[in-house]
Amino acid sequence: MSMSKASVILTVIVLLLISSKEAASIQSGSRSILRAVSSENKARVDYAVDLNSTNFDVVLRNTPAAHAVVEFYAHWCPACRNYKPQYEKVAKLFNGPDAVHPGIALMTRVDCALKINNKLCDKFSVSHYPMLFWGPPSKFASGGWEPKEEKSEIHVIDDGRTAERLLNWINKQLGSSYGLDDEKFENEHLPSNISDPGQIARAVYDVEEATFFAFEIILEHKMIKPHTRASLIKFLQLLVAHHPSKRCRKGSAEVLVNFDDLCPPDMWSPDKQEAVSDDKGMLGNFQICGKEVPRGYWMFCRGSKNDTRGFSCGLWVVLHSLSVRIEDGESQFAFTAVCDFINNFFICEECREHFYQMCSR
Ligand SMILES: *[C@@H]1O[C@H](CO)[C@@H](O)[C@H](O)[C@H]1NC(C)=O
Ligand SMILES: *[C@@H]1O[C@H](CO)[C@@H](O)[C@H](O)[C@H]1NC(C)=O
Ligand SMILES: *[C@@H]1O[C@H](CO)[C@@H](O)[C@H](O)[C@H]1NC(C)=O
């Protein structure tokens, strides 16, 4: 069976899932976590992400955003303090749960007045405050900038003195026409073209979020049983090779390598359960897509309609993005792995049966 057929089936099943009552219970299961995380976010007033030499490389290497803006400043500098609200106005468009244009650019800042950042600021030849750079996030990570370097993909933003001018500058780079007053993002459509690298990059936020919750649900419902272990292992193999997010691939690989320790065959045996009643085992402490996931909000999957929202939508994107990355030679393995995974780890009985019928055709 070809994978394109598989992806059609996946689409159908996830649409079924969405309309089911169980989908609602999946969402409410994860809602407590979402609430915990989002109340944390409320305390944060800044949209721009504070970076220092400890996390600079990691954050920029791992962000799903396609571009990054780095502001080098000094907290004592009056011009920098005056500039902050301007920078924040733009950061608000691109960063955080209320971003109107999520996934496009990560807006960050580095305080060069902190000793720990001295080397970092030197690497970028920071000559005045505030000094702004633009470039691909991966080029910032373990990168640098020198005034005479012509081929660098990192550029100084030479005209960003006000929020309007900064956004104009960014618009010019992107060929976009974003405005400071753009309305709150309401996405009523799933990513429509999953072969479009831009859409995938933005959808990766949700793919990561959904991957985390898929495992959270498996643990919450204690679904790893002697007869389902093999199926989980197969699905993990698929994730290691084809998950669109590098850090989820890495996390899946770690789970796979340590599978017997993280999921010992007796992890939920009756004796153990009595000892610790709310035990998710060692796997429960493992963040499959890294420390930053879950973020507690969805990017694309936050439409107002049920079927474009939350976990169901995220899962759709996960399965879909897997199906487009599968090579021909492994489509049979992949198809079986996904079918078995759905069959064993979906809590919607009706969808599972439906899907199982299609899978066994
Ligand atoms: C969306 O889901 C909620 C429960 O999760 C339900 O009460 C509501 O009727 C649904 N809306 C639509 C349009 O299906
Ligand atoms: C660097 O940033 C991280 C993450 O925000 C923070 O936990 C850490 O305390 C910062 N280090 C210094 C020296 O400010
Ligand atoms: C999807 O995106 C790819 C890459 O950007 C493009 O070549 C293709 O034409 C797009 N397809 C549709 C249906 O828009």
* Beta carbon of 55 within 6 Å of any ligand 2 atom: yes
Closest listed ligand to the CA of 200: 3
Active-site annotation, residues: 77, 80
Which atom of ligand 1 is closest in space to residue 23's alpha carbon?
5
Whether the upstream peptide bond of residue 265 has omega within 30° of 0, thus cis, is no
* pTM for the structure as a whole: 0.65
Closest listed ligand to the CA of 111: 2
Closest listed ligand to the CA of 22: 1
With a Cβ cut-off of 6 Å, ligand 3 is lined by 193, 195-196
The shares of helix, strand and coil residues in the chain, as percent rounded to the nearest 5, are 55, 5, 35
194 alpha carbon – ligand 3 mean position (Å): 8
Which atom of ligand 1 is closest in space to residue 306's alpha carbon?
1
The two structure tokens encoding residue 294: 């879950």
Ranges of CATH 3.40.30.10 domains, the chain = 49-185
**Is 316 exposed, middle or buried (CB count within 10 Å of its CB: 0-12, 13-18, 19+)?**
buried
How far apart (Å, rounded) are the C-alpha atoms in residues 347 and 342? Answer: 9
15 alpha carbon – ligand 1 mean position (Å): 14
What pLDDT score was predicted for residue 4? 53
Looking at ligand 2, which residue's alpha carbon is closest to its atom 2? Answer: 52
* Beta carbon of 44 within 6 Å of any ligand 2 atom: no
Q: What is the CATH number of domain 49-185?
A: 3.40.30.10
- The residue whose CB lies within 8 Å of the most ligand 3 atoms, and thus the one to mutate among 196, 199, 202, is 196
How do the pLDDT tens digits run along the chain, 361 residues long? 444 555 555 555 554 444 443 443 444 344 333 333 344 444 457 999 999 999 999 999 988 888 999 999 999 999 999 999 999 999 999 998 778 888 789 999 999 999 999 999 999 999 999 999 999 999 999 899 998 877 889 999 999 999 999 999 999 999 988 999 887 655 555 555 656 666 666 778 888 999 999 998 888 888 888 889 999 999 999 999 999 888 999 999 999 999 988 888 777 665 555 444 456 667 777 889 998 888 888 877 776 665 556 787 787 778 877 877 787 788 888 888 888 888 888 766 655 665 566 566 5
* Beta carbon of 50 within 6 Å of any ligand 2 atom: yes
With a Cβ cut-off of 6 Å, ligand 1 is lined by 24, 306
How far apart (Å, rounded) are the C-alpha atoms in residues 207 and 315? Answer: 7
Q: Which residues of 71-87 are buried (b: 16+ CB within 10 A; e: fewer)?
A: bbbbeebeebeebbebb
Looking at ligand 1, which residue's alpha carbon is closest to its atom 7? Answer: 24
- The residue whose CB lies within 8 Å of the most ligand 1 atoms, and thus the one to mutate among 306, 311, 312, is 306
* Beta carbon of 25 within 6 Å of any ligand 2 atom: no
Q: In terms of Cα–Cα distance, which of 176, 155, 165, 198 is closest to 90?
A: 165
The two structure tokens encoding residue 238: 């698929």
- The residue whose CB lies within 8 Å of the most ligand 3 atoms, and thus the one to mutate among 189, 190, 195, is 195
Closest listed ligand to the CA of 21: 1
DSSP 288: T
Q: Can you say whether the dihedral through the CA atoms of 69, 72, 78, 79 is positive or negative?
A: negative
Residue type, 59: V
